[in-house]
Amino acid sequence: MIRVGMMIGDRYEILERIGTGGMSDVYKAKDHKLNRHVAVKVLKQEFSENTNFVSKFRVEAQAAASLMHPNIVNVYDVGEDNGVYYIVMELVEGITLKKYIEKKARLSVREAVSIAIQACMGIEAAHNNHIIHRDIKPQNIIISKDGKVKVTDFGIAKAATSNTITSNVMGSVHYTSPEQARGGYSDEKSDIYSMGITLFEMLTGRVPFNGETTVAIAIKHIQEPMPSPREFVPEIPVSVEQIVLKCTQKSPDRRYHTMAALIEDLKRALMSPDEDFVRIENPDESMATRAVSDRERGEIKKQSKKKESSGEEIRLKKNTPPKKKKTVVYEEDDEEEEYEDEDSRMERITTVLAVIGAVLIGCAVIFLVGRAVGIFDFGQESEQVTMIAVENMTEEEAVKALTELGLKPEVTYAVSDSVEVGKVISADVKEGAIVSGGSRVVLTVSGREETAEDGIPVPDVEGFLEAEATATLTNNGFTAEKSEGYSDTVEKGRVISQTPAGGSSAAPGTAVSIVISQGPDLNSKVVMPDIIGMDPDLAISTLVENGLMVGEQRDMSDDDPAMTGKVCYASYTAGALVEPGTTIDIGISTGPASTTYMYQDAIQSPAVAEPGCGYQEGSECQITITGQSGAEYLNTTVRTFPYTSVNIHGIPSEDPAGLITYTFEVEEAPRTEVGENGETVTVPGGKSQKVVQVTVFFTPEG
C-alpha cells in the first residue's frame, strides 16, 4: 500500500498522488539522492501478483528507459521494493493536451500544427529506436508550463525487434487505427493514424467517430469514411485538411510512410497553408491488373519477333561453317500464322493469370476472415504452462524443473534463517499461475552472508562522482568499467547509470559498468535563428522550422521607426544553443515609445512633511503614491523613515506629477468639557486616523 511519506527504494519519498491509470498510479516524489522532484509510476497492488501484468510493466520500463528526447517524458530509474514495482520519470508540470483542448474548445491552426510537430518529433525518436507507442492520444501528450510538448505513457509500447507486431485493440478506441481495431498487425503507421485523429481533435474540438459502445466506434474506424475537418471548421487550410486525411487513411500503405515525412509536410503547411501539396498514394491502382491495349500488344509481338529472329540467327550462325553465308527468307503467310499463334498464346496466358489471381484473392479473403474469427491462429500465442511449486527444492533441481517446463529461470540469493543454504526460498511466480512458455521466473535461493560464493550485493553508485563511485565499487569487491555519455539532468562527472543495478547480487570481482555524464550533448542543441526585423509570420515559421516553440507574443515600443510591425525582441539571442522544443517569446514593435516618468527619491517621515501632524516615529504608516490621473503606483505600510525602497518606472506621460499620501493613527490627550448642567467633564484620550498629503513631481525617463 503506497502512502504519503513512505520511502521507495530507500531514495524516493512519496509526496502526493497526481494521477491514476488502468494498471498504475502516479505519485509526485522527492529524490533524496539527487535532491529533485520526480514522478513515480507504481503498479497497482491488485496487479502486482499477476505475472502477466508484471511482465507488461517491465516491458514498459525497458521500452521507455531506452528513449531520451526533449519531446518525450524521460525515465530515470526502474525498480522493485518489497513487491512494489515502480518506474521513476521526469516530473512535468503542466496539463494534458486533452484538458488544453477542453479549456480552449478548439485550437488555432497554427497552434495545433506547432503542437503536432513537437509531438511527432518525440514519436519519431521512438520509431527510430524501433519502439511503437500504440496509444497516441491527447491524454498522453503533456504541455508543460514553459510550452514544451512531451509524449508520455509508453504503457503498451513494445520494441519492434521481430518482423511484425501483433496486438489486440488497445488504448482509447477513439484514436485507434483500423488495423488495431481488427486485432491485426500494428506498426509505426498505426501511430501516424492516431496522430492524425489527435490533430483532427485539436483543429475541431471533437473526435471524428463516436458511438454508444467501444465496439461501435471501432467498427466506424474500420468501415466509415473519415470526415474532413473542414466540415466542422471551414477556415482550416487545404494543406492541413489533406495532412489529416492522409494520416487517417484506412490502408496503412496510403498513409505517411514515416513520421519524418509527416513532420516535413506539417512544417510546410505552416509556411504555405493554402498550397495543395499533399499527395495521397494509391498502391492498389499502381499494382492493379489492367487490359493490354492493341498498341501495347503490337509492341509485345514486335519484341517477341525480334527475339525469335535473333535466336534463329544465332542458331544458324552456330551451325554454319565459317565464311559461308546463308540467307533466311520469311514468307508473309508464315508471319501472319505466327502472329495468330502469338495472339492465341497471349489470350491463354491472360486467362490463366486471371484465374490464378482470382484464386489468390479468394484465399486471402478466406484467410483474413478466418483469422478475424479465430479459425486460423497458427500458434501465434505462446504455449501456456502452469507454474509448479519450487520452494525448498535445491537450486539445481528448481532450475532443471523450470527449464523442462519451458520457462527461463533466473537466480538471486538472500540470507534466510529458516531455509537451508542452497535451497529455494521463493519464486516471483506463484504456484498454479498460468504463464506463457519462455517467461522469466526469478528464484530467490538461500545463501550465506559471510561467504560470497552465491554473490554479494552491488552498491548503488548512480549520482556519485566518478572517483567516489570507483572507490565504492572497489572497496566492495568489484571492479569498475567506465564509459561516457551525455545527460541533461546528471551533472558532468557523475554516474548516469550502472550495470548490474545497485542492490542486485553479483559474484565478487564482477566488472560493474558505469556511465559517466559529460553534461548535455551540445550537438543535439538547436542554434537560435536571427529573427529580429522579420515579419511576425515569417519569424514564427522560422522558429518552427528549427524545432522551436513559439511562446508569448506581446507588443512593445522600439526607438527605430523602421521596426514598427516587425519582431524587435526574442527571449534568446541569435546564435545561442538551445534545446529542441524550447519556447521562444517574441516582441513586436509598436514604434517609438512616448515620454514616461520615474520616481526614485526617498520618502521622508510625515513629521518632516508636515511638522506638528502628531506622527510618532516607529508607529505604523500607510504610504500611497498616485498620479494626477488617479492611477496608483505605490501602496505599502512602513514603520521606519526615510523609506528608500522606491523604484517606480514607466509612469505614463499623463502623470508628470502626483501625491504622496500618508495615513496613520495619532494619540489624542484627555480633555475637559462643560456638560449640559454646567459641570466639568473629563473626556478620555483615544486614537484617531490622520491623513497627510504632499505633492511630488516625477522625473522624465530618457
Residues designated as active site: 135
Query: How many angstroms separate the CA atoms of 276 and 284, rounded?
Result: 23
Q: Which three cell numbers stand for residue 345?
A: 498464346
The CB-side HSE value for 29 (13 A sphere, CA atoms) comes to: 32
Query: How many angstroms separate the CA atoms of 445 and 287, rounded?
Result: 61
Query: How many angstroms separate the CA atoms of 632 and 515, rounded?
Result: 58
Query: How many angstroms separate the CA atoms of 430 and 414, rounded?
Result: 18
326 annotated as ligand-binding: no
Kind and range of the H or E element at 581?
none
Query: How many angstroms separate the CA atoms of 345 and 340, rounded?
Result: 9
Q: Which three cell numbers stand for residue 561?
A: 521607426
Which one-letter amino acid corresponds to residue 397? E
Which one-letter amino acid corresponds to residue 214? T
Query: Of 271, 199, 280, 274, nearest to 237 (Cα)?
Result: 274
Query: Of 517, 511, 506, 501, nearest to 77 (Cα)?
Result: 501
Q: If DSSP codes are grouped into helix, strand and coil, which group holds residue 23?
A: coil
Query: Of 158, 170, 154, 186, nearest to 255 (Cα)?
Result: 186
Alpha helix ranges (H) inside 573-666: 606-609
Contact predicate 159/63, CB 8 Å: yes
Q: If DSSP codes are grouped into helix, strand and coil, which group holds residue 49?
A: coil
Torsion over CA: 76, 85, 136, 439 (sign): positive
Q: Which three cell numbers stand for residue 692?
A: 497627510
Chain center to CA of 489: 17
Known binding positions: 41
Known binding positions for ATP: 41
